[in-house]
Amino acid sequence: MTNHFSDPDLDVRDLATIIEEFTTIFIRFPSVERLSFTALSVLHTLTRFGPMRLTQLTATQQLTQPAISQMVRQLEDDGLLERRADKSDARAVLVQLTIRGAQIVEARRTARVEWLSSLLDRLSPEERAAIAFAVPALAHAIELEKTPELPLYPRSSASPKQQTEGSKEKE
């Protein structure tokens, strides 16, 4: 793929490297219950999208169907996920977070916000202003990549308990 972007003030290769390095730090923090990155990705995905069929979950994780089935089984055994019938198709099953699974995701988000706040406190006012200025543009870039099947950010700001209770109320 050729890079057709041309702006003398923005080096896309540098931006990609910075995003990759930031992501490397961000996804590793905090360490929660020694879950694998894939397990955490499954939990975070279900937090963002709500209950999903295994086939949908497989598409979001870049795993094979047997691998995601094994992952879901392990997370279910650990009390972080549960399966329930799909009311729209009696043959299908939905996977959803338990309250404990949602609490892990929320604890990670809270710790990340605290870490990021601490990091931002160490930057100059000009650097913080530059980041604040970039946030709407980054949000717009994310919007451009969203698809109806996989929006890239949480649907609601409900607490983990509210999300889990809300999905149970819809049953």
CB atoms within 10 A of CB 53: 15
The domain over range 12-169 is classified in CATH as 1.10.10.920: no
The predicted structure's pLDDT at residue 28: 79
The CA distance from 3 to 11, in Å, is 11
The predicted structure's pLDDT at residue 32: 65
In the structure encoding, which two tokens stand for residue 94, read together?
A: 């939905």
Q: What is the pLDDT of residues 62-88, one digit of tens each?
A: 889 999 999 999 999 999 999 999 999
Give whichever of 4-13, 18-27, 55-64, 76-85 has the largest mean pLDDT.
76-85
Q: Percent of the chain at pLDDT above 90?
A: 58
CB atoms within 10 A of CB 162: 12
pTM for the predicted model, two decimal places: 0.74
Report whether pLDDT(166) > 60. Answer: no
- Whose tokens are 């919007």? That residue is 143
Mean pLDDT of all residues belonging to the chain: 84
> Nearest-5° angle of CA 82, CA 88, CA 92?
50
